[in-house]
Structure 1
Amino acid sequence: MTIRRRFLLASSLARLIQRERGGLRQIEGFFPEQRDRTSWVRLEENRGLLILRTMGPHGETEEQTEVPVGHAHALLDVCAGEVDYTRTMLRIGDRDALIDQFNRPRDLHFVTVEFDGESEGREFHPLAWFGPEITTEARYSNQAIALRGVEQYQDAPLSDEALNSLLDTLENRLPVQPRVPVKRPAAKQRAVNKALAGSAQEGGRAAQVNLDDIEAAMMAEMERTL
């Protein structure tokens, strides 16, 4: 089960990371909230994804399937709310930290780290350049930001210690984390593409997509894969 810990990040540090490492622009549109599942569409450059996250007896299960870019644009048009952000992957030891700079609905800056289990997540010590932890604050989830926005937000504090710690991270000089290393492949970074926001048109009309059909196709594809 994947565990995520999310922290605020000073805007100046987020800008420095993106300038040094680049980033990938993503647009996510969320459908209305449901009690036991969350569904949304993600558009990243020339790739569209439909994602379904469900809550079960053993925790969260997330499934995704690729959809045509035109269908992704059409789904974004009917979503209840969306977020637009640039994501940069920054290597921290043997894992990636996800640096997110939100452009819509307002400027927000986060760093998220994923773990393979609760014990691994508990043993992780946030670096000095991380801001306050907001993992348990539901209002800072992508879904909540898209559907309800964030009325009050204060940028994470900036200090010399935080800046020096980030420079150490960028130079691969990190403090030792007391845990068993987990090997993961490095993600490929791509440049930010600012042309995503335009809607796809097919024959002069926006592509029409049935969400239930796509979810059914997604489940069938997952069954074939398994």
Structure 2
Amino acid sequence: MTVRRRFLLTPSFARLIRRERGGLRHIEGFFPEQRDRSSWVRLEEDRGWLALKTVGQGGEAEDQTDIPIAHAHALLDVCAGEVDYTRTALPIGEGHALIDEILRPRVLHLVTVEFASEAEARGFCPLEWFGPEVTADPRYTNQAIALRGLDKAPEIPLSDAALNSLIDTLEGHLPTQARLAVNRPKAKQVPVTRAKAQISGEAVKVNLDEIEKAMRREMEKTLQKGKPE
């Protein structure tokens, strides 16, 4: 059983991660809700899945199966609601944090971490660049966002400590606890946008020092706007 914890994420951090690591476009379409089960179709570039989650005495069980792309598009046409997002898998030790930039039905940024058990999930200490946790808030599931929408999400304040924590993650420097607790995702993420720029035919890696300087300037502007005149 996969256990997930979900957190809000400040938009500028999500953009920084996608710029460095790329991302994969997803569309999930959900069928009308039922009391003890939910079903949806997911489209990822040239692959399609049909998923079913049931709730019983033994807890939740989730199954999915590959379907042809044409079938996925046909099912999306009859779904009750959709979520369109770009996902980036950011390595955390032996696992990944899944960064979702939701584009429709409203702009929202989330980070999800998957675990193999409840004990591992409880033992995980969120990294400092994560925003407020929304795991227990049913409004922040993809199904709820697709079928019922979402009011404006709270603003997440930027901080120097959070930025340094994100830079450490991008460079592969993590607390020991985070390395041990995170579960490896089942599906491999294949980026469709690139984290490298093409200059004179040569790939040039994004300079994290320059990104950090730009982020600090953005934080200073945010702080200046918040000061009373």
| TM bucket normalised to smaller | 0.7 to 0.9
Determine the structure 2 residue equivalent to 1:13: 13
Determine the structure 1 residue equivalent to 2:101: 101
Partners of 1:37 and 1:106 in 2: how far apart? 25
Calculate the TM-score normalised by the size of structure 1: 0.81
Determine the structure 2 residue equivalent to 1:167: 167
Q: CA RMSD in A?
A: 1.9
Shift of 1:182: 6.8
Shift of 1:101: 0.2
Determine the structure 2 residue equivalent to 1:129: 129
Letter in 1 for 2:41: V
Calculate the TM-score normalised by the size of structure 2: 0.80
Q: Structure 1 regions of 5+ residues with no counterpart?
A: 194-226
Partners of 2:92 and 2:61 in 1: how far apart? 25
Shift of 1:25: 0.2
Determine the structure 2 residue equivalent to 1:141: 141
Shift of 1:45: 0.3
Indicate yes or no: 2:11 matched with 1:35: no
Letter in 2 for 1:191: V
Greater mean alpha carbon deviation, residues 151-160 or residues 165-174: 151-160
Instruction: Tell me if structure 2 keeps the 8 A contact 1:86–1:192.
Output: no
Letter in 2 for 1:28: E
Instruction: Tell me if structure 2 keeps the 8 A contact 1:42–1:48.
Output: yes
- Residue identity over aligned pairs, in percent, reads 66
Determine the structure 1 residue equivalent to 2:188: 187
Determine the structure 2 residue equivalent to 1:220: none
- Residue 130 to residue 106, structure 1, CA distance change in 2 (3 Å): same
Shift of 1:188: 3.8
Deviations 1:157-199 (A, max 9, x none): 2111111100000001111107856774783422159xxxxxx
- Residue 69 to residue 95, structure 1, CA distance change in 2 (3 Å): same
Instruction: Tell me if structure 1 keeps the 8 A contact 2:7–2:111.
Output: yes
Partners of 2:37 and 2:104 in 1: how far apart? 24
Q: Structure 2 regions of 5+ residues with no counterpart?
A: 195-229
Shift of 1:55: 1.0
Deviations 1:97-149 (A, max 9, x none): 10000000111000000111111101100000000000000000000000011
Partners of 2:180 and 2:32 in 1: how far apart? 39
Determine the structure 2 residue equivalent to 1:56: 56
Letter in 2 for 1:149: G
Greater mean alpha carbon deviation, residues 16-25 or residues 63-72: 63-72
